[in-house]
Chains A and B, each alone.
Chain A
Amino acid sequence: MHKLSIIQQIAALRSKEFSSLELVNHYLNRIEQQKGLNAFINLDPEYALNMAKKADELLTTANAPTLCGIPMAHKDMFCTEHLPTTCGSKILQNFQAPYNATIVERLQASGAIMLGKTNLDEFGMGSSGENSYFGPTLNPWNKDHVPGGSSSGSAAAVAAQIIPFATTTDTGGSGRQPASFCGLNSMKPTYGLISRHGQVAYASSFDQAGALTTNIPDLALIMQIMAGFDKMDSTTINKTVPNFSEHLDKSIKSIKIGLPISLLEENVDISVKNVVLDAAETFKQLGAEIIEIDINLVGTWLSCYQITACAEASANLARYDGVRFGFQSDSAATIEELITKSRTEGFGREVKKRILTGTFVLSNNQSEHAYQQAQKVRQLITNELKQKLQEVQVILLPTAPSEAFKLGESKTNSKKYQHGDMFTVCANLAGLPAIAFPAGFGNNNLPIGVQLLGNYLSEPQLFQIANAYQKNTNWHTKFPRLGENK
């Protein structure tokens, strides 16, 4: 059952090849067998089995919604009334959200069944999955390596086929980079396409939800359900969302794809460079036109991201005071001490680093106007990308500059780790959509992905081009060989 795509599972449920109860049970068994990956923070099999029974009843009627009876998992960054929402942090270890995030509601209304909440780098801050209070998640392709982050558990679970799909958040590449490390598909949509209501905030002007799937048509289906205006999030775009699936089989003949070839020369593994060049060649064979482009401001991307995203993080995470919700230190004599000790004991080191960075940027005299200047540079970065996207329809980029790091390597090889986001942050800085998909393997036999960056609201075209690639390649059909790993 787990070898079927979501679209095939939907058809099989309707033709009574198997029931939702059998499907949910099958995945719960697989999750149990792969416990060692540490992909989940919380599970509720009993709840899922009850939902499956209800789904099976509904499937006998004509009213069954699209995903009726399909199991899934939420990154533990989305508020759910049912299971705790921890954000991978001690400070929210026992936090029970009083409402569902909008995307949780939408997927639930479409009949999807949440089996559990997946592990992540604390508050979405990290690229390895190692910064979780609940321990690191392992890469199912090679358990000595990380699955990427911050959507580490979602990526490991989908790659191990212990869940058909899982949600992600993507602030600087947190959905796409783990997709690359685990051989999966993910999209960071145009800012405002998907509601952030109930998505715990990291950097509000960057954060967007997405999903991880094993193929592009499944991704188009899931993103379709999640997308659209929400009155609970004033930054959502109030326009009708086009039907993504209608674009999947369109030809890509004469589509212009920009290739910033000079970016592949520095800080990029040779195997990644080769994968990108091979992908360009495939697109060419499919009738697309590959046009070499230069992007001059690429050297500012990471600095601009670090300054602006950390500034927003320091403001967003100010709400964790140990008084109104979350962890409270029990050894404080004054209110200042209570707040300080609760935060010091409750947050992990990476979160503290980013809060401090943001506080410094927003407060220190030496860096006066640093935030304003970074926001102006962010506009210049956006202008440049949009100008390039007038000359070409999409830009082909590596998703990550390397294969998945080894566990612990992020601490010893900090340069490599810091450059991990170098190709993903641009989409978040500019609010543009990007789609990531598998395109090869590296020297360590770990997957390597590429991404396409598109113009404002160009999601239909991104699905079209990525699916054209996938119909003519078989990288997305490769899965890790799993031993039983309790």
Chain B
Amino acid sequence: MSIDLETVQATAKLAYIDLNDDIEIMHNKLLSILKAVEMLQKVDTTGTSPFKHENFANLNIREDIVSCNNIQEKLAKLAPKFNDDAYQIPIVLTNTGK
């Protein structure tokens, strides 16, 4: 198995990251992880289930109760841009006039 630069770029797009000058570094990183993947594929895992922590059988799940948790003010303070009850982002829809 190998990875071409196109795959590196496609992976970066999925991760919402521009590689700019780092494409070679990231290419090498993914090639090394591919070796790790190949190594693990050689391990016989027949009959083995994917890992679970010992206490996952007894997780403490919260009760499903309706509660009022309007914390808009708190969240708004954290946002880089927040106006008129909304996060401010570049325009998504434009009126083309048709």
Contacts and interface: CB of A to CB of B under 8 A. Distances in A.
Interface of A: 95-96, 98, 191-192, 205, 229, 231, 234-238, 297, 299-300, 302-304, 306-308, 310, 314, 321-328, 332-341, 343-344, 347, 349, 352-353, 355-357, 359-361, 363-364, 366-367, 370, 372-380, 382, 429, 431, 456
Contacts, number: 172
B11 A363 contact: yes
Q: Tell me which of B33, B49, B87 has the highest count of chain A C-beta atoms within 10 A of its own C-beta.
A: B33
A234 B60 contact: yes
Contact of B60 (A95, A236, A299, A321): A236
A353 B32 CA distance: 12
Given A229-B60, A375-B51, A376-B50, A356 B15 contact: yes
23 contacts: A96-B78, A98-B74, A98-B78, A191-B55, A229-B60, A234-B60, A235-B53, A238-B58, A304-B40, A307-B40, A324-B75, A336-B16, A338-B89, A352-B22, A353-B25, A367-B34, A372-B50, A373-B41, A374-B40, A379-B48, A380-B43, A431-B53, A431-B54
Contact of B79 (A234, A237, A325, A378): A325
A366 B34 contact: yes
Contacts of B22: 349, 352
A234 B80 contact: no
Q: Please list the 10 inter-chain residue pairs (A to B) with the smallest Cβ-Cβ separation, ordered nearest first.
A: A303-B36, A375-B50, A328-B80, A376-B45, A378-B51, A325-B78, A359-B15, A379-B51, A344-B18, A370-B37
Nearest to B12: A356
B68 interface: no
B45 A359 contact: no
B80 A373 contact: no
A302 B26 CA distance: 19
Contacts of B30: 356-357, 360
Main secondary structure of the interface of A (DSSP, over half): helix
B65 interface: no
A191 B53 contact: yes
B66 interface: no
Contact of B51 (A238, A322, A355, A376): A376
B51 A366 contact: no
Contacts of B12: 356
Given A234-B62, A366-B34, A379-B50, 8 more contacts: A231-B60, A302-B36, A308-B51, A325-B80, A334-B92, A359-B15, A373-B45, A379-B48
B51 to A, nearest CB: 4
Contacts of B53: 191-192, 205, 235, 431
A336 B92 CA distance: 10
B45 A380 contact: yes
- Determine the interface band of chain B, counting residues with CB < 8 A from chain A: 35 or more
A259 to B, nearest CB: 25
B5 interface: no
A357 B29 contact: yes
B9 to A, nearest CB: 11
Contacts of B51: 205, 308, 375-376, 378-379, 382, 429
Contacts of B58: 238
A327 B79 CA distance: 9
B90 A234 contact: no
Contact of A349 (B7, B25, B40): B25
A205 to B, nearest CB: 7
Contacts of A234: 59-62
A377 B54 contact: no
B60 A300 contact: no
A235 B53 CA distance: 9
Contacts of B80: 322-323, 325-328
A235 B56 contact: yes
A376 B48 contact: yes
B48 A355 contact: no
Nearest to B56: A235
Contacts of B36: 302-303, 306-307
B98 interface: no
A353 B26 contact: yes
